[in-house]
Structure 1
Amino acid sequence: MFRVYNFAAGPAMLPEEVLVRAQQEMLNWQDTGVSIMEIGHRTTTFQDMLNKLEDKIRKLMHVPANYKVLFLSGGGQGHFSFLPMNLTGKNKKVDYIVSGTWSERAAKYAKRYADVNIVTTATLASIPDASTWKLSNDAAYVYYCPNETINGIQIHDVPQTNGIPLVADFTSSILSEEIDVSKFGVIFASAQKNLGISGITLIIIRDDLLDQAQECTPEVFNYKTQAEQTSLLNTIPTVPVYMMDLMVDWIIDSQGGLKKVAENNRRKVQKLYDCIDNSNGFYTNIIDKKYRSLINVPFTLPNDELLKHFLIEAGQVGLAYLNGHKLVGGARASLYNAMPEEGVDKLVAFMNDFAKRNTK
């Protein structure tokens, strides 16, 4: 079977064993005689899977008892709007840390529903020191995106907010390492990176924040209402939930949990950064090393003609979707959990050879 190494930023590479399991179960899921694509979301079989998935996520991430775990549609960008709708019914002041494209867009969307204060704005290469941040003392929440996929910037330390609830878009970094959920008011992540396929968004929200919604909040995106209905107020995207369940099983059973996943991820990305840094300037990553992403690695080549040939030749040897985002150009390698180390090794070997062949 022909498979490439998929370095796309998302929807992203899935583990082959997850795809094989989904293939095997596609026509007859759990001996029901029907496909997961046909199963009713209110059947006992599906609800049992959903409940067990929540339990597995709680154990894997050590989610405290005073948090609800929700599975909703809408995607990351949808929740850029649903979050302020749900959290600013009593206080419309909100703080946003802008570290790249996605947090900038989230702040833009939030301005339709709340009074947004920009705490700080990243440069192309770095984050201003926290001592210069302009945090409010009475905001409903502080928002940030730990990892910016387009810019390749990652905030590795959890921001200090002086007791104000912290909201975090973990779409691209969820389950890539262990985190202390208790430091956050809300964690959300659309699934198409480390949680399966597009179509479902994981929401982890502290109980005391469930009664803050604006009246304009649609019922199906009202976090309190969905929590009361265990995410089943409306028809849940059943196949994305199923794929999330397979991905969580893979992390637990095949990868050995989040500590082991984090070790693998750090080893993989270090190989790629070493290749870039030791290329004598042929490849360039401009991000301050303190804020380099451990997941999405953008880099440039000496000129656009070389970039064009780099992408073509990479594709010919099974290294796919290495083009950078259209907003920034260049190249980009996304190393989510499913990317095996041998994929990174093959990419590094190709990059070293390409640089050698094209250095005058």
Structure 2
Amino acid sequence: MERVHNFNAGPAALPESVIQQAKEELLNFQQTGMSIMEMSHRSKEYDLIHNETKQLLLELLSIPNDYEILFLQGGASQQFALIPMNFLSSNQKAYYVMTGSWSEKALKEAKKIGQAVEFLSSKEDLYRYIPTIEDKKVKQLEDAAYLHLTSNNTIYGTQWNQFPNYKVPLFADMSSDIMSREIKIEQFDFIYAGAQKNLGPAGVTVVIMKKSLIEQCNRSIPAIFQYKTHANKNSLYNTPPTFSIYMLSLVLEWIKQNGGIQQVETINNQKAKLLYDTIDNSQGFYTAHALKDSRSKMNVTFTLKDEHLTNLFLKEAKEHQFIGLNGHRSIGGCRASIYNAVSLNSVQQLSQFMHNFQKRYE
């Protein structure tokens, strides 16, 4: 069977060459007579993978020397709790910008730990845009432990184009757009990302944090929950998700071989423009959920005229091997997730299918 056009929101498409390499090395990794899944995380073979993966992240993202890279488990959802557990002291507040379901969940967890408050929100408009931080709002941040945002919102299809730049520690959940575009790491104090969108399969969470934060970690919580514990042990305090880290290394190498983040961003811009042009030029047959200046280049969310037409679109799309186009169950509609590994060809074919579908049913 030929591979489908995979527009799943996550776990999402992986580069076919990466899957092929993993297949070839699955039973016998580099003549060790073992699969990487069977190998000790203390072995020299795995140690090389582990450290090479960190080096690739440093290189591709241009991460400065004063940042630490961690490989953790539990996904971004675990970071929702660990961040306030480590950094939210009793005399400070954590401020959250609300742009969708994931920021809601992050705030909910933080409220269990300490004073966590909603700073800005676009919920009243069904999260169709990224809210603007006004000068009068900035004054509220004087007692901030950190300001938290979600850089890309998979469910609603919005994305930050410019990040706030204030004298407040900036924490960002970048699970769904890390490695998709160039960013200035120096703008952020703490970045975290589940791998299953642009970095690899589910199982590993990448944390990029200023080393100065490590000494600020709360020492009264269990050691396994302290970032300092994992930083001191090079993310080997307990058994890491070795196979997921190995797959992450292959994906990063694929990005490097294909021109790095700059080239990846160029292709991602082409894919997003093609789909949004298809939607905007449909005379209302398709309607984008997100406002133009907040549109995500990773998750293109849209609706059709009614539920019957939407269901018919999804049914015929699946018959044509376009998989994963259902919108999230919380808002419905349609969603095309066009992460790094989704080819321009797949997006071109989806665009053509959308044109043909419109001609038949408008």
TM category, shorter:
over 0.9
Answer whether contact 1:82 1:217 (CA < 8 A) is retained. no
1:27 equivalent to 2:30? Answer no
Query: Whole-Å Cα distance in 2 between the matches of residues 36 and 236 of structure 1?
Result: 12
Match of 1:178 in 2: 182
SS at match of 2:191: strand
Match of 1:97 in 2: 97
1:155 equivalent to 2:160? Answer yes
Answer whether contact 1:89 1:215 (CA < 8 A) is retained. no
Answer whether contact 1:86 1:210 (CA < 8 A) is retained. no
SS at match of 1:137: helix
Report 1:296-311 matches (<5 A).
Answer: 296-311=299-314
Query: Whole-Å Cα distance in 2 between the matches of residues 220 and 31 of structure 1?
Result: 34
Match of 1:196 in 2: 200
One-letter amino acid matched to 2:144: A
Query: Whole-Å Cα distance in 1 between the matches of residues 137 and 103 of structure 2?
Result: 15
Structure 1, unmatched stretches of 5+, are none
Q: Kindly tell me: are residues 28 and 335 of structure 1, through their superposed partners in 2, closer, same or farther at Cα, counting changes over 3 Å?
A: same
Q: Kindly tell me: are residues 81 and 23 of structure 1, through their superposed partners in 2, closer, same or farther at Cα, counting changes over 3 Å?
A: same
Answer whether contact 2:7 2:336 (CA < 8 A) is retained. yes
Query: Whole-Å Cα distance in 1 between the matches of residues 132 and 49 of structure 2?
Result: 44
Report 1:291-330 matches (<5 A).
Answer: 291-330=294-333
Match of 1:74 in 2: 74
SS at match of 2:253: helix
One-letter amino acid matched to 1:259: Q
Identity percentage of aligned residues: 42
Q: Report the alpha carbon displacement of residue 214 of structure 1 after superposing the two structures with TM.
A: 3.0
User: CA RMSD, aligned part only?
Assistant: 1.3
SS at match of 1:329: coil
Q: Report the alpha carbon displacement of residue 178 of structure 1 after superposing the two structures with TM.
A: 1.0
Query: Whole-Å Cα distance in 2 between the matches of residues 289 and 88 of structure 1?
Result: 35
Query: Whole-Å Cα distance in 1 between the matches of residues 284 and 222 of structure 2?
Result: 51
Match of 1:61 in 2: 61
Match of 2:172 in 1: 168
Q: Report the alpha carbon displacement of residue 317 of structure 1 after superposing the two structures with TM.
A: 0.9
Q: Report the alpha carbon displacement of residue 222 of structure 1 after superposing the two structures with TM.
A: 1.3
Alpha-carbon deviations, 1:7-29, whole Å to 9, x = none?
01000001110100000000011
1:140 equivalent to 2:145? Answer yes
Q: Report the alpha carbon displacement of residue 287 of structure 1 after superposing the two structures with TM.
A: 1.6
Q: Report the alpha carbon displacement of residue 89 of structure 1 after superposing the two structures with TM.
A: 4.2
Query: Whole-Å Cα distance in 1 between the matches of residues 116 and 186 of structure 2?
Result: 24
Q: Kindly tell me: are residues 142 and 127 of structure 1, through their superposed partners in 2, closer, same or farther at Cα, counting changes over 3 Å?
A: same
Match of 1:121 in 2: 121
Match of 1:106 in 2: 106
Answer whether contact 2:194 2:202 (CA < 8 A) is retained. yes
One-letter amino acid matched to 2:340: N
Alpha-carbon deviations, 1:29-82, whole Å to 9, x = none?
121110011011111110111011111110111111111100000101111001
1:50 equivalent to 2:53? Answer no
Query: Whole-Å Cα distance in 1 between the matches of residues 33 and 219 of structure 2?
Result: 43
Query: Whole-Å Cα distance in 2 between the matches of residues 341 and 246 of structure 1?
Result: 21
Report 1:256-335 matches (<5 A).
Answer: 256-335=259-338
Alpha-carbon deviations, 1:114-150, whole Å to 9, x = none?
2112110013222333216454112111100010000
Query: Whole-Å Cα distance in 2 between the matches of residues 5 and 91 of structure 1?
Result: 51
**Between Structure 1 and Structure 2, how many residues are aligned?**
357
Match of 2:218 among 214, 217, 223: 214
One-letter amino acid matched to 1:211: E
Q: Report the alpha carbon displacement of residue 216 of structure 1 after superposing the two structures with TM.
A: 5.0
Alpha-carbon deviations, 1:166-208, whole Å to 9, x = none?
0000000000011111111001000000110001000001011
Query: Whole-Å Cα distance in 2 between the matches of residues 231 and 115 of structure 1?
Result: 29
Match of 2:252 in 1: 248
Structure 2, unmatched stretches of 5+, are none
TM-score by structure 2 length? 0.96
Q: Report the alpha carbon displacement of residue 91 of structure 1 after superposing the two structures with TM.
A: 4.7
